[in-house]
Structure 1
Amino acid sequence: MFDEVIQLREYVHILKKRRWIILTVTFLTVVAITIWTFRQIPIYEATTRILIEKESPNLIAFEEVLKLDTSAQDYYQTQYMILMSRSLAKEVLKKLGLTDLQRPQVQMFFSVRGIFNELAEKLGLSTPAPSPESDETIDKEERLVNEFLQSITVSPIRGSRLVDIKAISTDRQQAAMLANTLADVYIERNLDDKLVASKDAVLWLEKEVEITQKKVADSEAALQQYKEEHGILSFEERQNIIMQKLLELNTAVNEAKIKRAAIEAQYKQVQKYQSDKVESLSVVINNPLIQGLKVELANLESELSQLRKKFRDKHPNMTALQSQIDATKSRLNTEIKRIFDSLKSDYEVALAQEKDLSKMLEEQKHEAMDLNKKAIRYGELQREVESNHRVYNELLQRTKETNVTERLQTNNIRIVDHAVVPNSPIAPKKIRNILLAMVVGLTMGIGLAFFFEFWDNSIKTSDDIKQYLDMPFLGFIPKVYGKEYSNNGNNGTRAKPDMIVAIDPKSSASEAYRTLRTNVVFSLVSDEERALDLDFGSVMLVTSPGPAEGKSCIVANLGIAMAQSGSKTLIIDCDLRKPVMHKIFNVNNDRGFADMMADIKTYGTKVVVKHTKIKNLDVIPCGKIPPNPSELLGSSLARIVIEALAERYDKILIDSPPVNTVTDPILLSRIADGIVFIVHAGQTKRDVAQRARDQLLSADAVILGGVINSVDLKKDSYYYYYSYYHSHYYTQDGKKQLNAAA
């Protein structure tokens, strides 16, 4: 929720900042549209209201006659299109005898493109498009029809069958006349079309009745001929007989298959066994005669066994009994053979019976299929006869109905309200156009405001420092105008921006430098050192991405602020190409840092260090500008000298050239404990600052944070972010100071 409020405040801030763009665009839009509106010719509108009932289905209702889609939606859409048809428009114009229309040649409601095109034409910046009247290739009648259709609007009233026919014209009399005449001609044509449709339908129906009657006769003759050719009296009865016979044969075949399978199983079983094992088969064992012979044979063999105990084998009794046994065995074998022969005969008979029945079944199936084919053709002929009869009866009935309705024809469209001559114009709507112009102007103005705001890629706020440069924000320095008045109220005392901390210590700029001093010092000291209240000497490099960003001014005032806090401070002017520190502090520049680097024995630190009028503040100017600044600043001697000076001073500030112009700041960054990165408010571009930051980071430099210089507190855009530092808070006579600055 808090983030949303912050974002809303940012939007409001953008609108306030770019308010003149919004107001200018809105004003110009309102003026342009107001002029355009008052130049328009009044436009009048007349309305005729008609009632369109759905087409009656009694005239020609079935779709087979005229193939009409009688759905309500399609019907009404068709009527609306007829009202706007060119043929109907020509009839209206012919009836009125019009050769010209008082039709408005301008838009009823404004469009931004139309207005600016018209203004461009008036100013001679563009050539107007040729009007329809000037185009000789367009037929005059067609042009008149086009103008008429552009003047007409058909508006159905939702939830009803009422339709409004609206006509516009610069002539109020003509507007009413056009609407009423269009309704009259439309109603007349609708009735004429229905009468013509009825006559055409009657003729068409009578012709179709004759054709269908012939089709009925032809189809009946074809059906009768087919029945005679195939000797068919009744297909249904014959089909029932054939199906019954087919069912009976199918049952007989199944029974024959079962019987044959049983006999075949017994027969094959007998064939499989050897002769000495045949007697064990069920078909043999279950035979009563064989069972009796077996009993008789068993008794004879038992008796023979008893006689062997008394007689020899050749004894007459033994011989006679053996003969009886042999005869019984012979009878048994004969009976078994007879059973085999009987099984074989039964199998062959069953197989033959099955084949005969199967053949009869197949023949019956073929007969049934043939009958089905004939039945299909018979059904086709019969259905054709029935269909022709239905169509014939329907056509005959509709012919009679059409003849009746033709004589009783009525119109389903009528006028509910005639158009009256309008008293007041409908356009231009002056108040609405002006209000819309304000809305459009505000929208365009706000759009342009945000466009310019987001197109501006310069660094302006602390959020830009954090978001785009990914470094802490150390503070801002307000812009110092031509006159800044000190707290003593002496009018006309001009403060020097390079030394404003010393000249006007109670100004908002001075307070900003003191705040920057505090933030820089705290960023150099670790939490452990801060807890122990230690104050170590610190070497700070002050640089910026490009020239003219106020870097040297900040070095001077920051040095003064540190000196005023009691820290022994040294400023070293290492901008060996464009030095300015000697000018700011008004010191001699005959010997300086460059001379010391070139000849350390001759120019020691005692020689080059200059005392200023500010207590605790010394300066080492540049000295003679060397031909090789980078070699001097990158030497080991520069590091040794600055480290030696750090032991004598609490704070050392190094003023260096811009990062993106020379390599000097990269070389000095290896000596400094931290870097103060300066950007100019609204001037330094993000990509330029990012490129400078990346160069410093590539050299493993420690960037303490960013400072935004030359912030204009009188602008709403900066007052929104930095209002805390406004001079009202820091000066007893802040109101006077602000007014004087303005």
Structure 2
Amino acid sequence: MDENTLDLRDILKVLKKRRRLIVTVFSAFVSIALIVSFLLPPTYEAETNLRVKQQSKGLADSLLGGLGSMNPMGTKQVMSTYAEILKSRTVVQSVIDQTQQDKEEIPVYEDFIKTITTQPVKDTEILNIKVQAETPEEAQLVANTLVNTFIDRMIDLVRGEQSKVKEFIGGRLQESKKELETAENALQKYKQSQKITAPTEETKALIDKLATIDKLSADNQIAAETAKAKLASSQSQLAGQKPGFIAENPVIQQYKLKLAELEVNLVSLMQNYTDKHPQVIATKAAIVETRSKLNAEIVKVVNADAPSANPVHQGLLQAKLEAEAEVAVSTAQQQVLSKLIAQGEEQVGKLPAKEQGLVKVMRDANVSQEIYVMLAKRYEEARISEVMEPTDVQIIDTAIAPEKPIKPRKLLNTVIAAILGLFTGIGMAFTLEYLNKTVRTSEDVQHYLDLPVLGSIPAFDSELHKDTSMIGKVKQLFNSNNKQDRRA
């Protein structure tokens, strides 16, 4: 056997020799773990589950002509956004105010947020929420209060946006109603003054053509104004965001131009064909596809060129970029519509004076009526949406009071302490054995001095030199005999 190695007998010998040290260290670790586990206050955890559905097309998005319906934001990003809102200062501080007021020391937001964890369940629409507290009842109360406050916050956000849309449409509706009344009165007076009951076939065809263009122009103006309102709202929440950001992206610029061309082409087709014509259907499908690609590129720009750890910030930036794109497309479309209107008015100028006047007042009346009907319909949608609760988030499981604490884990702590104590004790035993350089056996003499051992002499302690030792007794007996001989 190599002199620098230990065999099993040497290991067992060291363990036996240092068994008291090993047991002492082992016991100390286990005792400390037990004491700490019993002294630490228990922590209870309550959990609840929410179903987070894909973001539905909101009212504001519908006013943008379907831009929001093509939003490619996935369920994962929606969950991340909602998780950030759930842990936002507004929501959590409200929960603190509702559940922690009876405590001597009210926790601050930074500390309280550490007791809340959110985790999406893989491949589902479920968001798991866990809350830790000192008692089962408090954990249950905080978890349920947190979820309810979060849903109330979502309702406020949605209703706030819908309220602004409703307010905008309501103002335009009142203006449109007055314009319609004025246009109808003007048409009636003109017919009476000129004694005209109906326009000629040529005039009627021209009026119908202009009415189609005017309706498209009115729809486009409403969409553009709504997009501008949404853009202003997004910019106000994104302080310092650089305007015209997407204009720097050539791919987005290309999609914007293509979308504008398709919209213009649709305008031209609508003058000659119905909605069921194959060319009209194909053009509408191309518009939907181009919008989808445009929005996908916008999301790519948001994630690549403007990364953020806050999904809420990304969502606002994405809404801003989408609104910018819609404004740009509407502007290009309006330019073409204005040219078509100018061409129609040029044709009107070739009609007799009476027919020209009739076309003008009939156009005004038709456009005013189309705008009023459209605004009235959308105002009713806004009014209904404002009072409806959003269904994107649903409570699947409410929190219940947990029966057992999750911390401290007494058994786990004890097992870990026992393992650490055992290894520490054994390590200390071998360390002390390694540091002990005293000569204890003949093998040690050969190992340290490299000399042969001829023999060994037993070591006598001091007791052998006392009278009670065997040699002392012999000496005493011998001395006593000598003394007796002298006396004799």
Query: Could you say whether these structures have the same fold, taking a TM-score greater than 0.5 normalized by the shorter chain as the test?
Result: no
User: TM-score, normalised to structure 2's length?
Assistant: 0.44
Larger radius of gyration: 1
By relative contact order (CA 8 Å, sep 6+), the higher-ranking structure is 2
User: TM-score, normalised to structure 1's length?
Assistant: 0.31
| Structure with greater proportional helix content | 2
